[in-house]
Amino acid sequence: MKRYCLSLVILLAVYSSNLFAQQHMDVQILGNAESINKENNVLVIKTKEAEARVWMYSPTIIRVSISKEHSIDTSFAVVQQPQGDLQYKENDKDVELTTSALKLVINKSPLRFNFYTADGKALSQDDPRFGTNWQGTRVINYRKLYKDERFIGLGEKTGNLDRRGSSYVNWNTDAPNHGPTTDPLYETFPFFVGMHSGLTYGLFFDNTHKSYFDFGASTDEQTSWYGADAGDMNYYFFGAQSVAQIIEDYTWLTGRMEMPPLWSLGYQQCRWSYTSAAEVLSIAERLRKDKIPADVMYCDIDYMDHYKIFTWNKTTFPDPKGMIDKLKSMNFHLVTIVDPGIKVEDGYKQHDEGVANNYFATYPDGEKYIGSVWPGRCYFPNFTDKAVRDWWGASFTALTEPGVEGFWNDMNEPAAWGQNIPWMVKFGKFYMPEIRNVYGMQMAEGTYLGTKKILGNKRPFVLTRAAYSGTQRYSAVWTGDNSAYDAHMLLGQRMVNSLGITGMSLVGVDIGGFTGNPTPELMVRWNSLGVYTPMFRNHAAKGTKYREPWRWGKANEAIIRKDIEQRYKLLPYIYSSFYQSHLTGLPVSRTLAINYTQEDSIYSEHFQNQFMFGDAIMVAPVESTKLIEDVYLPKGEWYRLTTGEKFKGGKIIKAAAPLTDLPVFVKAGGIIPMQNLVQSTKEKGDGILKINIWNGTKANSYVYYEDDGSSYDYQQGNFYKRTISFDPKKSEITLGAVEGAFASKYNKIELVLHGFNAGVKTIKVNGKASGFAFANERNEIKVQY
């Protein structure tokens, strides 16, 4: 009896301590290495708690994954495989893995991962006490925080450029009315760049669960930490010693964008909603009549029949093809919105097909999940399944047949009224919490690959609101429902710049602010900034005042027109900048932290919104209420674009900022190919490519790129590309020989030299005296000035 009682007591004690452990989610810290082996080029280290695996992806990229299960090892983001032979040395204390650029020192007891440059400079280390640990299913990694450490990245996040002292959550969320501190928003990019002691590194936490990042916000500045509700401590460490190279590596790993259709880089006019075909056409006609250059018209949700995806409202849009033909005759392209929710309605094609094939999300017992969105009660396609994506993609014929070429994927966080899709809802084999952050990306993938197939060799334009790392392979993004006030304009610019760090180059904001009504000054100012926003779209919410350029009075319309004209003149430069994104992953809008990483002033709240637009242009966003603004010019020399005034950098200047002239500067030595004014990207123009060069003391070069702007033939070598070099020491400008088979749409090249004083008079082309303009010769051309 006594023994029985004792065992009962022990049993109860064990039970209650388990209960206690569960209730309190005790912390379990990764302990000592018990075995270390190399298996198929993977370093496998076992501890009591878990198993760590280490792979080499390139000399600058090492992956570590610490897991209790390692049951699934797939990634939505990563498109590369490990490469090279993994080399390591082992002694009693640690394991050392070395590449030509990096050294990973793995401390055995306890198991901790510490990264150094190949020559031994400390980049980033596990916190020696806590390293990787678990609380319940939550997995967390604590890292040493350096005194001077800064952090940039995480894509679409509010807050400052330097994220030190801030914390964030990734949980894709429909966030209408968000403000400058709201978190989370619509997208998840769990990738950041850390900088300290003059060094740089990057870290991509490839875990799709709800995740958390704390850059020393809540730790008394002791550690930074990140983690997720479940899944593996699966991260890629980047050790390149420049932010640009880290971005190049990150986009090598997660893929790069294809060339966008040229028309998508023109001015885009949108509204929720132009409610009839007649209205869409009248807006397009007015843009042409008022000579506001433009390329794109949008149809928001009201073009549909009761918001049913892949339908048209027969009363208000009775002849979609007729409308689109008319738009095309005016050189417009049409983008239509698609939302994931499929209306529950027997007899509706998408509904019936989805039901018949079990394509929709379900409760665990198989019952289809219903949430309410615009159409009312809806089913939600399981976009994680390729068959569903293929089906979804093929359904776009309803839009492509009448002539739609752009597809705007909205509400794909996914949004459902109440914003609380139950955790038990299943998308195929995945429960909602593990799939939510990639749902939008998977929808965009289905849309892009599907429409690409339907359109044959024509490039579709895809825009998505929700995203995860890797979305750049399929789609552009915009920053969702912003608001019509100055701080939101500045926030939007920071988000565009931050998205650039995480691989998204084709990014836009709703110019003018989606919610609310901008003042005329804000509208004008925001439009000026739009010229230098990779995707230039004017959009507004239902119930707001109309926003088109002519709604602001003649004088303001003239400024808006002048700015949009500037966008069109810059298109050869903008398109070449997108070619850079396609090739290297470097974004078009670049936070100054990419090129001027070590200059403290660029991180200050006052200057953090400034950015490079391509290689040569620097833009200083200014609130609409300020007509003069302090601008920080990074080291080097700069010219004000509009006045030609020259400045020495490395200091703050007071820049005049009238509404007619946003402070925009060109770097000395800057090379900017431009064209004459056209009203759309379809127009041929005068056939002259104007290569603008601003004088400087340092040699510079720029790759000019052109192709047909609409097909995939460039992937077969049908492009026109030449390197333009400027060498002030030799007083020489060289247009390198043309690469690629494409015949340029320009038949003349003109050199426009800025700040060269009288030098232009003695210009010589290939040794012979010449004027400015000369035939578009494909061989190398040397110009002496």
Q: Which residues form the catalytic set? A: 410, 413, 481
A 10 A CB-CB count for 702 gives 24
The torsion defined by the Cα of 618, 633, 722 and 256, in degrees rounded to 10, comes to -60
Cβ at position 302, least distance to ligand GLC in Å: 8
What is d(CA 344, CA 342) in angstroms, rounded to the nearest whole number? 6
What is d(CA 384, CA 388) in angstroms, rounded to the nearest whole number? 8
Cβ at position 176, least distance to ligand GLC in Å: 6
| Positions that interact with ligand GLC (CB under 6 A) | 176, 272, 300-301, 337, 410, 465, 480-481
Cβ at position 527, least distance to ligand GLC in Å: 18
Is residue 672 within 8 A of residue 573, CB to CB? The reply is yes
What is d(CA 269, CA 296) in angstroms, rounded to the nearest whole number? 6
A 10 A CB-CB count for 274 gives 23
Closest Cα partner for 727 from 761, 747, 702, 758?
A: 702
Cβ at position 87, least distance to ligand GLC in Å: 50
Our CB check for ligand GLC shows the closer of 102 and 301 to be: 301
Our CB check for ligand GLC shows the closer of 159 and 480 to be: 480
Our CB check for ligand GLC shows the closer of 227 and 480 to be: 480
Cβ at position 413, least distance to ligand GLC in Å: 10
Our CB check for ligand GLC shows the closer of 185 and 765 to be: 185
Is residue 498 within 8 A of residue 152, CB to CB? The reply is yes
Our CB check for ligand GLC shows the closer of 165 and 180 to be: 180
Our CB check for ligand GLC shows the closer of 111 and 509 to be: 509
In the Cβ-directed half-sphere of 784, how many Cα atoms lie within 13 Å? Answer: 7
Residue 759 DSSP class: G
Cβ at position 510, least distance to ligand GLC in Å: 7
Greatest Cα pair distance, the chain, in angstroms, is: 114
Cβ at position 303, least distance to ligand GLC in Å: 10
Our CB check for ligand GLC shows the closer of 47 and 538 to be: 538
Our CB check for ligand GLC shows the closer of 466 and 753 to be: 466
What is d(CA 494, CA 153) in angstroms, rounded to the nearest whole number? 10
Closest-CB residue for ligand GLC? 272
Cβ at position 265, least distance to ligand GLC in Å: 20
Phi, psi of 80 (to 5 degrees): -110, 165
Q: Would the CA dihedral through 499, 160, 641, 539 be positive or negative?
A: positive
Q: Are strands 507-511 and 476-478 parallel, antiparallel or unpaired?
A: parallel
Our CB check for ligand GLC shows the closer of 481 and 707 to be: 481
One-letter amino acid for residue 581 of the chain: S
Backbone torsion region of residue 534, taken as left when φ is above 0, otherwise alpha when ψ lies between -120 and 50, otherwise beta: alpha
> What is the b/e burial string over 362-386, where b = at least 16 CB atoms within 10 angstroms of the residue's CB?
beeeeebbbbebbbeebbbbbbbbe
Cβ at position 372, least distance to ligand GLC in Å: 14
Tell me the angle at which helices 432-454 and 386-394 cross, rounded to the nearest 10 degrees.
Answer: 40
What is d(CA 648, CA 637) in angstroms, rounded to the nearest whole number? 5
- Partnered with residue 654 across adjacent β-strands are 630
HEC secondary structure over 94-162: EEEEECCCEEEEEECCCCEEEEEECCCCEEEEECCCCCEEEECCEEEEEEECCCCCEEEECCCCCCCCC
Cβ at position 614, least distance to ligand GLC in Å: 27
Q: What does the block give as tokens for 579? A: 């070619």
One-letter amino acid for residue 156 of the chain: E
Q: What does the block give as tokens for 646? A: 């020259």
